[in-house]
Amino acid sequence: MWPSNRVHDAVRGARDVFVRPPRWTTVREFSFELSLCAALEREGGAVVSRQLGTGVAGRRVLDTVLVEPGPRFEERAAITPGTIPPAAIESDAGPGRARRRAEAFDCRPDRARAVVDRAVDVGFFERERRDGHAYVRQAARYPAAWFDRLVGVENKPDLDRPGALATQLLTDVHLAVLDEVVLATASHVTGAHLNRIPEAVGVWEFDPETAEREVVREPRRLPTEGYGVEILDREPARTEIEVVTPEEKARLRRRVAERAYGKGWRTYDIPACARVDPGTDGLPHCPWKGRVVRPATDCGPACDGHDPADPPSLDCEGLRAQRTPWVSDPEGRQRRQSGLDRYS
């Protein structure tokens, strides 16, 4: 049985002592996040992504996620540069004999059709029709061990006003979907700060201007294979939690890794402005403003420095492929039947 009293005590004991609105603007937090992603990408060795859901029943979103390759990473990279639909991976459509779509999926027909369409588009499914029915099968075996560690990074540039930081980090630690969790900040980390951060959470001081990163505290490995406790709602006199099974955690880990692989972190468009200089990292940097900008809200005719022009040429996929294990244009896996239910 779960030591529920101990869990509740830990949750209630770590009060959110930071409750005032953050001093940093949304734009500055965005700039901090992109600068950190660029720095982590330059280090190589892991797939870098951002803004990924890491909750089972709740709505937890991690700012940055690193996916470290596992022993079968190359097999996964050979399938598609995009995200394979989780529902396709979890369906009963294997790499052997084709199955009717209605039998392979336990969901609404329209949902099943949409999943199959996407899985076919990315090269994970093959589809055929027999007697008026749709049949599907995997075009390539899904390699379960393609990723190793998942490292989540919560970005809080200003530790003096970080909002619900304590609850967020407690959720990450007790749920333990990620192997490690780190807090990244531009603040100078004091002993008082460390005392308010769960001991299992690592801490980085990161300067977005120089890209220098100092490890203040190493993260502890979390028990990803066991049960987890997810914090759904937290009030002064009451905390709502849900126990998460190892199977649910394993499914979410795979979904996070898949989403990270397909999404990456450059999910913005470079502004159509002659002043913008993406530099070597492909960041939406504006020399006129002297900082990285949020293109969707910070650029355009309303900006006094706006100089309409075609967006600067930028090969985001090329940068990502050059600096990380991600493969932008895999040759694909050619299927050859070598048995009734085996493909090489």
Q: What pLDDT does 58 receive?
A: 87
DSSP-derived secondary structure letter, 343: B
Paired tokens of 246? 């190892």
- Print pLDDT tens along the chain (344 aa): 344 444 444 444 444 433 334 434 577 889 999 999 999 999 999 999 999 999 998 889 999 999 999 999 999 999 999 999 999 999 999 888 899 999 999 889 999 999 999 999 999 999 999 888 899 999 999 999 999 999 999 999 999 876 789 899 999 999 999 999 999 999 999 999 999 999 999 999 999 999 999 999 999 999 999 999 999 887 777 888 999 999 999 999 999 999 999 999 999 989 999 999 999 999 999 999 998 999 888 898 999 999 999 988 889 999 999 999 999 999 754 443 333 333 32
| Residue written as token pair 């493969």 | 327
* Other Cβ atoms closer than 10 A to 337: 11
* Cα 145 versus chain centre, distance: 18
Pairing of strands 180-185, 202-207: parallel
Q: What pLDDT does 246 receive?
A: 97
* Other Cβ atoms closer than 10 A to 303: 16
Query: Domains of the chain: which residue ranges?
Result: 4-72+145-263, 85-138
Q: What pLDDT does 199 receive?
A: 96
Whole-number Cα distances in Å, 196 to 4, 16, 192: 22, 9, 7
* Helix ranges, the chain (H): 4-13, 26-43, 73-77, 86-89, 101-104, 109-121, 165-175, 191-196, 246-263, 295-298, 316-323
Distance CA 130, CA 193 (A): 64
Sign of CA dihedral 298, 301, 303, 308: positive
Whole-number Cα distances in Å, 174 to 2, 52, 59, 204, 242: 12, 18, 15, 21, 11
Pairing of strands 202-207, 212-217: antiparallel
Distance CA 321, CA 332 (A): 16
How much is the pTM? 0.86
Cβ distance 79 to 330 under 8 Å? yes
Distance CA 46, CA 67 (A): 5
Q: What pLDDT does 182 receive?
A: 98
What region does 18 belong to: left with phi over 0, alpha with psi -120 to 50, or beta? beta
Q: Determine the angle formed by the axes of helices 316-323 and 26-43, rounding to 10 degrees.
A: 50
> Which residues fall within 8 angstroms of residue 141, CB to CB, at 6 or more apart?
75, 95, 343
Distance CA 332, CA 344 (A): 13
> Which residues fall within 8 angstroms of residue 293, CB to CB, at 6 or more apart?
27, 31, 271, 276, 284, 285, 286, 299
Burial label, 313 (beta-carbon count in 10 A; 0-12, 13-18, 19+): exposed
